[in-house]
Amino acid sequence: MTARATDAERDPIGSLDRDDLDPDPFRQFAKWYDLVRRSGTREPTAMTLATASADGAPSARTVLLKGVDDAGFLFYTNYESRKGRELGDNPRAALLFYWPHFDRQVLICGTVARERPEASDAYFAIRPRDSQLGAWASDQSRVIAHRDVLEQRLAALAQRFQGRDVPRPPHWGGFRLIPTSFEFWQSGSARLHDRFRYERAEGTAWKIERLAP
């Protein structure tokens, strides 16, 4: 079990004040994320992805962040999975990073678009071969009779692609969430936590507001 961070190990922000925040939420996210990554926390890229169907039925699962820049937050999945189908029907989603070691979380909401095919090709090419074969073998989110179905498919695919590169399946690739809002939350005493929201104002500026916890 990962030990709880000591005060000395935590970010020097301490209590979170408006003046401490970077005007740009991407830079503020990078500051927190880099601290978590350097701390040795297991799976610092893990984030909860919340989606909804066309009629508003919600679902959530944990995925891994594979890239972030000014264009948004990138992750990869099966386009025919539940999340892939929901994002196709309702291209809005939320990402939640929770870092208990630091008593912090970040909520990011926005619209979602598929990553460029050539970018998905490039990422797929550097995945471990077993993961590449697994992307072909699994009809993600579909009902199967037993595990043997997956293992038999995997064995057949290993034979099919023996001695050559595994291409990216057409049903697998990246999604990028383009943020419309960020919330930065930090634990406080007496459950009076610090919580700030960034939202797009007119033009390209971000408006920052403190929220009651």
Q: Which of 164, 191, 197, 210 is catalytic?
A: 191
| Torsion sign (Cα): 26, 22, 184, 211 | negative
Q: What is the DSSP string of the chain?
A: -PPPPPTTTS-TT-S--GGGS-SSHHHHHHHHHHHHHHTT-S-TTEEEEEEE-TT--EEEEEEE--EEETTEEEEEEETTSHHHHHHHHS-EEEEEEEEGGGTEEEEEEEEEEEPPHHHHHHHHHTS-HHHHHHHHH--TTS--S-HHHHHHHHHHHHHHTTTSPPPPPTTEEEEEEEEEEEEEEE--GGG--EEEEEEE-STT-EEEEE---
18 as an active site residue: the answer is no
CA 189 → CA 34, 86, 144, 193, distances in Å?
Answer: 25, 39, 48, 7
- Residue 100, number of CB atoms within 10 A of its CB: 12
Catalytic residues: 191
